[in-house]
Structure 1
Amino acid sequence: MKFTKTFVGALLASAALTGAAWAECEVTLKSSDTHPDGYPTVEGVKAMGEALKESTDGKICIEIFASAQLGEEKDTIEQTQFGVIDLNRVSLGPFNNIIPETQVPSLPYIFRSVDHMHDVMDGEVGQEILDAFAEHDLIGLAFYDGGSRSFYNSQKPITSIEDLAGLKFRVMQSDMFVDMVSALGANATPMPYGEVYSSIQTGVIDGAENNWPSYDTSGHYEVAKYYTLDQHLMVPEVLVMSKMSWDKLSEEEQAAVREAAKKSVEVQRELWAAQEKASEDRIRAAGNEVITDIDKQPFIDAMGPVYEKYVTSDELKDMVARIQATE
């Protein structure tokens, strides 16, 4: 569904502020997230809001619209660029076709572990990627955990790359993700997150790929019983702010926003780790088949063409090399 700037503006203007906290603030930043209330990314932004309100003596607050109330990610990105939405937590995938630098942490098997990903994204490379958003009317603030993504489907256990042949998987609306699935011999179907459940249920697609909490909280585990821990992607989530909204703040307020976002990262990561474990426990208890005995090397070897296609400039090749060299 395509949202116009006028429509979303009217929606935001008519939304009731359910609590005295927002009414007391001089500035209320509207923040969007596709995930439901209670999800680690939503709770991370709540923590940011608390820190920001405290550091600005109650001047600036954050109001969160979770569960895709303002639309799916592609639409909310555009509205954030327009300045209608102030803050937005988005997966990096939808930015891949817009901001080349975001393609690097989105590459399959680029990170060796969660700790490796944290070290990279909290360091120089991560800051370079955040800085790249500025040319697209967005301010990159922080990276949240998005977990490791694996395939799940309704048809059969996947224990080898051959088992993927012919299966139809939903992917985020990113050319790279389409090419990744194609390189593995499966068929990629880009579609919004909110359409996945019914599409698996009705057989439009056979499955999707995502992390433990998303597989759990979306209910996808109910219609796709086979979950294969191939962990092909470990893509961070990104928190961005509209440059139009950013420019309305003083330098002191901008610094407060950055610091609050930075503080929220630790909260989000702790919640993420707990959520991931809880989701895994629920899925296993539900009786779903979790496949862990899998040789990843053929999957990794199949990614050569994907790297060749997307890591083309000297700058991106250097970024990949620096990530691989990070201890």
Structure 2
Amino acid sequence: MKKILGSAVALALSALLMTGCGGESKQVVRLSHSQIETHPDHIGAVAFKDTVEKKLGDKFEVQIFPNATLGANEKVLELIKQGSVQYLVVSTANVESFDKLFSIFSIPYLFTSEEAFEKFITDPEILGKLSVNSEKTGFAPVAAFTAGTRNFYSKTPIKSVADLQGKKFRVQAGPVNVAMMQAFGAAATPMSFGEVYSALQQSVIDGAENNELALTDQKHGEITKYFSYDMHQMCPDVLVASNAFLKKLSPEERAVFDEAAKAAQEAEFAAWKGSIAEAKEKAIAMGVQFIEVDVNEFRNKVLPLHEQLLKDTPEIKALYDEASAANAEANK
């Protein structure tokens, strides 16, 4: 309830700020994300704001809402569709229920290297193909951010697939993630990111899966002391924009906002690797042990899912083939 009231107050205050000094109209552009202010996603958001206001500051004011202050990502996606929030940085897993095309990134071991993954998500043609349903969904991806590799972390060591048996792990919402955990012999427990700490604390779940920043930014390393590099997924965060907002922009304004999206992507990528190295150092100081596992053992357990997922969601086949081509190119 507090979060809902906080969101309402924030939006109301933003509306009051839409009139500048001298009665000049200035449109507020709201950009939401669920991370803390030191996270690479926020650094990307600041670069977006700086670019827009440098060139269109007389017309637009970009306001950034971190820490999910406007609500959970699924809720904000509804606000994006309505046009009351203009931009959102969101994991592709959270977008799946709105557009099945984004489930491509939840396929475990879709990419064979981070090089292939990064080349794929920064390709403007891929963003274009992910935008084909934007008229129906009400939003379009305008940039993609790296989020590294997703790995398991737990209260007990995960050294092999056998160590996952019967354990409860938080996953992002989406049927692909549930199917993946079933293939590993574990139980999937979808929940919002903000609920994970208390769920770990209260032993509602045994562990979760994410990148290293979750250990420090969200303090999950205070409870889970084992992080295993099984590298089962590479899911980007995407900067999505409200179609209702984009359609109101002039061609010149749209060019600036697209430039800002590219600046956000470049800033986020630049911040990412340093943030991971720093998070790992902090996590080790918290007592977290990092475990190298036989990635092929984990991969072989879930590879049969690829064929089933392509059968269940044939619309992702073209993107799957593009990802395979990116893997082949990176492996040359």
Say yes or no: does 1:65 pair with 2:65: yes
CA pair 181-314 structure 1, distance change in 2 beyond 3 A: closer
Deviation at 1:285, TM superposition (A): 2.4
Q: Show the counterpart of 1:81.
A: 81
SS at match of 2:105: coil
Deviation at 1:31, TM superposition (A): 1.1
SS at match of 2:199: helix
Q: Is the 2:3–2:69 contact (alpha carbons within 8 Å) kept by the matching residues of 1?
A: no
Partner Cα separation in structure 1 for residue 3 and residue 241 of structure 2: 19
Superposition pairs for residues 313-324 of structure 1, below 5 Å?
315-324=315-324
Q: Is the 2:169–2:207 contact (alpha carbons within 8 Å) kept by the matching residues of 1?
A: yes
CA deviation profile, 1:28-69 (whole Å, cap 9, x unmatched): 201111111121101101101101112225422310111111
Q: Show the counterpart of 2:236.
A: 236
Amino acid aligned to 1:59:
K
Q: Is the 2:7–2:71 contact (alpha carbons within 8 Å) kept by the matching residues of 1?
A: no
Q: Show the counterpart of 1:153.
A: 154
Superposition pairs for residues 1-327 of structure 1, below 5 Å?
8=7, 10-14=9-13, 26-123=26-123, 124-154=125-155, 156-292=156-292, 294-312=293-311, 315-326=315-326, 327=329
SS at match of 1:197: helix
Deviation at 1:222, TM superposition (A): 0.4
Amino acid aligned to 2:310:
V
Q: Is the 1:96–1:176 contact (alpha carbons within 8 Å) kept by the matching residues of 2?
A: no
CA pair 115-58 structure 1, distance change in 2 beyond 3 A: farther
Amino acid aligned to 1:307:
H
Deviation at 1:9, TM superposition (A): 5.0
SS at match of 2:98: coil
CA pair 179-25 structure 1, distance change in 2 beyond 3 A: farther
Moved more, 185-194 or 59-68: 59-68
Q: Is the 2:127–2:142 contact (alpha carbons within 8 Å) kept by the matching residues of 1?
A: no
Q: Is the 1:165–1:184 contact (alpha carbons within 8 Å) kept by the matching residues of 2?
A: yes
Cα-Cα RMSD: 2.4
Partner Cα separation in structure 2 for residue 125 and residue 272 of structure 1: 21
Partner Cα separation in structure 2 for residue 139 and residue 101 of structure 1: 12
Deviation at 1:249, TM superposition (A): 1.8
Normalised by the length of structure 1, the TM-score is 0.91
Q: Is the 1:139–1:246 contact (alpha carbons within 8 Å) kept by the matching residues of 2?
A: no
CA pair 61-310 structure 1, distance change in 2 beyond 3 A: farther
Deviation at 1:316, TM superposition (A): 2.2
Q: Is the 2:73–2:94 contact (alpha carbons within 8 Å) kept by the matching residues of 1?
A: yes
Q: Is the 1:103–1:310 contact (alpha carbons within 8 Å) kept by the matching residues of 2?
A: no
Deviation at 1:226, TM superposition (A): 0.9
CA pair 142-57 structure 1, distance change in 2 beyond 3 A: same
Q: Is the 1:130–1:142 contact (alpha carbons within 8 Å) kept by the matching residues of 2?
A: no
Moved more, 246-255 or 187-196: 246-255
Q: Is the 2:109–2:303 contact (alpha carbons within 8 Å) kept by the matching residues of 1?
A: no
Q: Is the 1:2–1:75 contact (alpha carbons within 8 Å) kept by the matching residues of 2?
A: no
Q: Is the 1:134–1:140 contact (alpha carbons within 8 Å) kept by the matching residues of 2?
A: no
Give the structure with the higher percent helix. Answer: 2
Give percent identity, aligned residues only. 31
Partner Cα separation in structure 2 for residue 213 and residue 200 of structure 1: 16
Deviation at 1:139, TM superposition (A): 2.2
Instruction: Tell me which stretches of 4 or more aligned residues in structure 1 moved more than 4 Å.
Output: 1-4, 6-10
